[in-house]
Chain A
Amino acid sequence: MDALLDQLGLSELRRLKPRQMLAQILNFGLILATAFMMWKGLSVVADSPSPIVVVLSGSMEPAFQRGDLLFLWNRNLELNYAGPTPAPGSTFGGTKVGEIVVYNVKGKDIPIVHRVMRRHKGAKTPLNLLTKGDNNYADDTELYPRNQFYLDREEEVIGSVVGYVPFVGYVTILLSEHPWAKSALLGIMGLLVILQRE
């Protein structure tokens, strides 16, 4: 094996130590797997396919700007309700008017973050919601599919906003909207690897 490498002039490759490289790859794989487990675990706890979303549009300004990170909860335990107990006989549970929900219009993959304006519940009908962005003049009827005037809480809504961190998600927006940014980043990292003496 060594003689072959010497003949080919590739004796430098002996320094690579394949077992060490495999250990590194395993380490890397473990880190990726841990991150994925944490994401899926959070998905299960919050009962939402995407428990953390980045705000993409300015339709909820001045509350949410583009690049803000939102934490979603899909179980409606009403954790943040700080008002008086509802009037006796009232059965209003679950998503209330005024909550901010994130939904996907059927067929499209873009999550929209808007506030619930109307709520209609019946014994045999699904919970119907109408939403509107704070910064929009009209409600979301134009965003829903044709002949659909209300959202179905079970099917289209992926969660309601309970927590908020500003700015942190802006990097993902930059990377997805400017594809050259990804290549530029990789280029800079490659340049640093070459220039460093290690």
Chain B
Amino acid sequence: MDALQNLIDGFIDFEGQKRAEQLCNVLLVLTGVIAYVVGFVLQDLTYTVYIGLGGTALTMLAVVPPWPAFKKNPVTWLPAGTTEVEEKKEQ
């Protein structure tokens, strides 16, 4: 059950989030530019539509699933119970 929850959540660490966002923006803008230029030069709108949709599908595939490449910098938490504040409270 936990594994299913992890699958649906798809959490990635902060460094991975930054990379995913940059990748998403770059890929989509590139798709748009290439789709427009190819269609304009070849004077056929079908190229624009297909390149655009294909590029978007590729971007979704690259960015949406939580690939291991996005989980390479996990946050290292300190071990529990090692702060002075806790000791003072116990007093």
Contact between chain A and chain B defined by CB under 8 Å? yes
Q: CA of A196 to CA of B10 in the docked complex: distance in angstroms?
A: 10
Residue B5 at the A interface, CB < 8 A? yes
Give the distance in Å from the alpha carbon of A195 to the alpha carbon of B4 in the complex.
Answer: 10
A196 to B9, CA, bound (A): 7
Number of B residues whose C-beta is below 8 Å from A? 3
Q: Is B42 an interface residue (CB 8 A)?
A: no
Tell me the B1-58 residues at the A interface (CB within 8 Å): 5, 8-9
**Is the interface on chain A under 10, 10 to 19, 20 to 34, or 35 or more residues?**
under 10
- Least CB distance, B8 to chain A, in whole angstroms: 6
Task: Tell me the minimal C-beta distance from A111 to chain B in angstroms.
Answer: 28
A residues less than 8 Å from B5 (CB atoms): 195, 197
Across-interface contacts of B8 in A (CB, < 8 A): 195-196
Q: Which residues of B contact A196 (CB under 8 A)?
A: 8-9
Contacts of B9 in A (CB 8 A): 196-197
In the bound complex, CA of A168 to CA of B48 (Å) = 17
| CB-based nearest B residue for A192 | B8
Q: For residue A195, give the distance in angstroms from its CB to the closest CB of chain B.
A: 6
Interface 1/0 per residue, A186-198 and B, CB below 8 Å: 0000000001110
In the complex, what distance in Å separates the CA atom of A197 from the CA atom of B6? 10
- Distance between Cα atoms of A70 and B5 in the complex (Å): 44
Produce 1/0 per residue, A61-74, CB < 8 A to B.
00000000000000
Once bound together, how far apart are the Cα atoms of A196 and B4, in whole Å? 11
Which A residues, 160 to 198, have Cβ-Cβ distances below 8 Å to chain B?
195-197
How long is the Cα–Cα vector from A46 to B63 in the complex, in angstroms? Answer: 42
Nearest CB of A to B86, in Å: 24
Q: Which residue of B lies closest to A198 (CB)?
A: B9
B residues with a Cβ closer than 8 A to A are: 5, 8-9
A-B pairs with the 6 shortest C-beta distances? A195-B8, A197-B9, A197-B5, A196-B9, A196-B8, A195-B5
- For this complex, 6 residue pairs linking A to B, each with C-beta atoms less than 8 Å apart, are A195-B5, A195-B8, A196-B8, A196-B9, A197-B5, A197-B9
